[in-house]
Amino acid sequence: MDDAWLTGLAASPWLLPLLFLLVVGDAFLVVLPSETLVVALGALSATTGSPELWLVVPVAAAGAVVGDGLCYLIGRRVGPDRWRWQRTDRVAAAIERIRTAVHRRTALLVFTARYVPFARIAVNLAAGAGRVPLRRYLPLSAAAGVAWACYNVAIGAIVGSVLRDSPLLAIAVSIPVAIVLGVVVDRTLAMLDARRARVNVGRGEH
């Protein structure tokens, strides 16, 4: 793989449709690295000029909204535990925690979960199973998808603007940066959730 190959790839008409499908699939299969591709395309755009950022952001956001919306519909139509992948320990535990809070903190959960793969699945399934009104859920999901797309594209574009002369190096650097930031976000949200749970327990004891 070299810079010339990446430049040719950036101009491929199949790149953005692939991005859309990968982001949609990531709503169900966390092994699909949609964040990685969004970040990489941000870096590629900053270094080669293609694909254009104004196309990457809406395509990634649309994929996020469609994928999350399908997850919501699954939760609404068939419930949160019909299929085997819904009953895996981590997903099932997350769904159980979220179901009790999804109506009280819909906006917070939908926005924060977009950055945490397992939480993303659990929140959307729980929102559907809990019958959160679609007119309430959909605008929140759309806003979260746009914010998520902008965030990941920005990481790649910032690194790419610094390493403008080397598209391959820009991608190689931007992806680990995004992973580290993702871990920080995940840990921060987990700490805040644990702190909130302790506060609620303390209030219950009194």
pLDDT tens-digit map of 85-123: 666 666 666 666 777 778 788 888 899 888 887 788 888
Handedness of CA 143, 191, 177, 116 (dihedral sign): negative
Q: Using N-to-C axis directions, what is the helix angle for 34-48 and 167-205, rounded to 10°?
A: 140
For residue 165, give both structure tokens.
Answer: 């002369």
For residue 128, give both structure tokens.
Answer: 């559907």
Q: Using N-to-C axis directions, what is the helix angle for 134-162 and 53-78, rounded to 10°?
A: 150
Task: Average the pLDDT over each of 2-6, 8-12, 45-49 and give the range with the smallest value.
Answer: 2-6
Confidence (pTM) = 0.81
**Which 3 state secondary structure label does DSSP give 83?**
coil
